[in-house]
Amino acid sequence: MEKLTFYALSAPEKLDRIGAYLSERLIRDVGRHRYGYVCIAMEALDQLLMACHCQSINLFVESFLKMVAKLLESEKPNLQILGTNSFVKFANIEEDTPSYHRSYDFFVSRFSEMCHSSHDDLEIKTKIRMSGIKGLQGVVRKTVNDELQANIWDPQHMDKIVPSLLFNLQHVEEAESRSPSPLQAPEKEKENPAELAERCLRELLGRAAFGNIKNAIKPVLIHLDNHTLWEPKVFAIRCFKIIMYSIQPQHSHLVIQQLLSHLDANSRSAATVRAGIVEVLSEAAVIAATGSVGPTVLEMFNTLLRQLRLSIDYALTGSYDGAATLGTKIIKEHEERMFQEAVIKTIGSFASTLPTYQRSEVILFIMSKVPLPSLHHPVEMGKTGENRNRLTQIMLLKSLLQVSTGFQCNNMMSALPSNFLDRLLSTALMEDADIRLFVLEILISFIDRHGNRHKFSTISTLGDISVLKLKVDKCSRQDTVFMKKHSQQLYRHIYLSCKEETNIQKHYEALYSLLALISIELANEEVVVDLIRLVLAVQDVAQVNEENLPAYNRCALYALGAAYLNLISQLTTVPAFCQHIHEVIETRKKEAPCMLPEDVFVERPRLSQNLDGVVTELLFRQSKISEVLGGSGYNSDRLCLPYIPQLTDEDRLSKRKSIGETISLQVEVESRNSPEKEEREPAEEITYETLKKAIVDSVAVEEQERERRRQVVEKFQKAPFEEIAAHCGARASLLQSKLNQIFEITIRPPPSPSGTITAAYGQPQNHSIPVYEMKFPDLCVY
Taking only the tens place, the pLDDT of each residue in 424-442 is 888 888 888 999 999 999 9
Residue 594 and residue 605: Cα distance in Å, rounded? 8
Confidence of residue 222 (pLDDT cuts 50, 70, 90): very high
User: Of all helices (H) and strands (E), which one includes residue 756?
Assistant: strand 756-758
Per-residue pLDDT reduced to its tens digit, 135-170: 999 888 888 766 555 578 889 999 999 999 999 998
pLDDT of residue 660: 33
Residue 336 and residue 391: Cα distance in Å, rounded? 12
HSE-CB of 101 using CA atoms within 13 angstroms? 4
- With beta carbons less than 8 A apart as the criterion, state whether 99 and 150 touch: no
Residue 571 and residue 591: Cα distance in Å, rounded? 27
The mean-pLDDT minimum among 97-106, 525-534, 719-728, 763-772 falls in 763-772
User: Of all helices (H) and strands (E), which one includes residue 510?
Assistant: helix 505-521
Confidence of residue 277 (pLDDT cuts 50, 70, 90): very high
Phi, psi of 666 (to 5 degrees): -90, 125
Minimal CA–CA distance to 308: which of 420, 246, 393, 423? 393
Residue with the larger pLDDT of the pair 181 and 523: 523
Buried b (16+ CB within 10 A) or exposed e, 433-468: eebbbbbbbbbbbbbbbeebbebbeebbbeeebeee
Minimal CA–CA distance to 465: which of 549, 395, 564? 564
Residue 740 and residue 362: Cα distance in Å, rounded? 56
pLDDT of residue 415: 85
Alpha-carbon radius of gyration of the chain: 42
Beta bridge partners of residue 666, listed in sequence order: 685
List, in order, residues 6 or more apart from 33 with CB less than 8 Å away: none
Residue 315 and residue 334: Cα distance in Å, rounded? 9
Is the per-residue pLDDT at 749 higher than 80?
no
Q: What percent of the chain has pLDDT over 90?
A: 29
Residue 571 and residue 474: Cα distance in Å, rounded? 13
DSSP string for residues in 17-46: HHHHHHHHHHHHHHHTT-HHHHHHHHHHHH
Minimal CA–CA distance to 650: which of 352, 436, 353, 422? 422
Confidence of residue 98 (pLDDT cuts 50, 70, 90): low
Residue 340 and residue 479: Cα distance in Å, rounded? 36
pLDDT of residue 293: 53
List, in order, residues 6 or more apart from 215 with CB less than 8 Å away: 153, 154, 155, 158
- With beta carbons less than 8 A apart as the criterion, state whether 525 and 634 touch: yes
Q: Cα-Cα-Cα-Cα dihedral of 9, 13, 14, 18, to 10°?
A: 90
Q: What is the mean pLDDT of residues 613-627?
A: 87
Beta bridge partners of residue 764, listed in sequence order: 758
Q: What is the mean pLDDT of residues 633-660?
A: 65
pLDDT of residue 383: 58
Is the per-residue pLDDT at 391 higher than 50?
yes
Torsion sign over Cα 30, 34, 36, 37? negative
Beta bridge partners of residue 765, listed in sequence order: 757
Distance of CA 386 to the CA centre of its chain: 25
Residue 128 and residue 532: Cα distance in Å, rounded? 80
- With beta carbons less than 8 A apart as the criterion, state whether 489 and 548 touch: no
Mean pLDDT of the chain: 79
Cα distances (Å, whole numbers) of residue 490 to 81, 536, 562, 564 = 76, 16, 20, 16
DSSP string for residues in 215-281: HHHHHHHHHHHHTT-TTT-HHHHHHHHHHHHHS-GGGHHHHHHHHHHHHHHTTTS-HHHHHHHHHHH
pLDDT of residue 518: 92
- With beta carbons less than 8 A apart as the criterion, state whether 371 and 379 touch: yes
**Per the confidence metrics, is the pTM higher than 0.85?**
no
pLDDT of residue 290: 61
Confidence of residue 637 (pLDDT cuts 50, 70, 90): confident
The mean-pLDDT minimum among 208-212, 686-690, 756-760 falls in 756-760
Cα distances (Å, whole numbers) of residue 161 to 213, 458, 472 = 14, 59, 60
Q: What is the mean pLDDT of residues 249-264?
A: 89
Is the per-residue pLDDT at 773 higher than 70?
no
Residue 516 and residue 550: Cα distance in Å, rounded? 25
Residue 577 and residue 559: Cα distance in Å, rounded? 18
The mean-pLDDT minimum among 56-65, 114-123, 426-435, 515-524 falls in 56-65
Q: What is the mean pLDDT of residues 629-642?
A: 86
Residue 54 and residue 569: Cα distance in Å, rounded? 92
List, in order, residues 6 or more apart from 463 with CB less than 8 Å away: none
- With beta carbons less than 8 A apart as the criterion, state whether 288 and 253 touch: yes
Beta bridge partners of residue 766, listed in sequence order: 756
DSSP string for residues in 361-405: HHHHHHHHHS--SSSSS----HHHHHHHHHHHHHHHHHHHHHHHT
Residue 756 and residue 161: Cα distance in Å, rounded? 81
- With beta carbons less than 8 A apart as the criterion, state whether 547 and 541 touch: yes
3-class DSSP state for residue 200? helix
- With beta carbons less than 8 A apart as the criterion, state whether 193 and 175 touch: yes
3-class DSSP state for residue 685? strand
Per DSSP, 643 falls in state P
3-class DSSP state for residue 591? helix
Minimal CA–CA distance to 368: which of 446, 424, 307? 424
- With beta carbons less than 8 A apart as the criterion, state whether 161 and 112 touch: yes
Q: What is the mean pLDDT of residues 640-651?
A: 72
Beta bridge partners of residue 201, listed in sequence order: none
Q: What percent of the chain has pLDDT over 70?
A: 78
Q: What is the mean pLDDT of residues 251-266?
A: 90
3-state percent breakdown (helix, strand, coil) of the chain, nearest 5:
65, 0, 30
Residue 748 amino acid letter: R
Distance of CA 71 to the CA centre of its chain: 56
Residue with the larger pLDDT of the pair 739 and 493: 493
Q: What is the mean pLDDT of residues 98-114?
A: 80
pLDDT of residue 683: 47
- With beta carbons less than 8 A apart as the criterion, state whether 316 and 387 touch: yes
Is the per-residue pLDDT at 619 higher than 70?
yes
Helical packing angle, 333-351 and 382-404, nearest 10°: 30
Residue with the larger pLDDT of the pair 663 and 66: 66
Cα distances (Å, whole numbers) of residue 454 to 315, 359, 397, 498, 746 = 35, 23, 21, 21, 67
Residue 160 and residue 166: Cα distance in Å, rounded? 10
Taking CA 74 as the corner, what is the angle to CA 72 and CA 80, rounded to the nearest 5 degrees? Answer: 45
Per-residue pLDDT reduced to its tens digit, 690-737: 766 666 666 677 778 878 888 887 777 777 877 787 777 777 777 888
Residue 66 and residue 51: Cα distance in Å, rounded? 19
**Per mean pLDDT, which of 85-99, 182-196, 653-667 is the most reliable?**
85-99
Per-residue pLDDT reduced to its tens digit, 531-553: 999 999 999 999 988 888 899 99
Residue with the larger pLDDT of the pair 400 and 68: 400
Residue 439 and residue 416: Cα distance in Å, rounded? 13
Taking CA 417 as the corner, what is the angle to CA 414 and CA 422, rounded to the nearest 5 degrees? Answer: 160
3-class DSSP state for residue 342? helix
Distance of CA 684 to the CA centre of its chain: 36
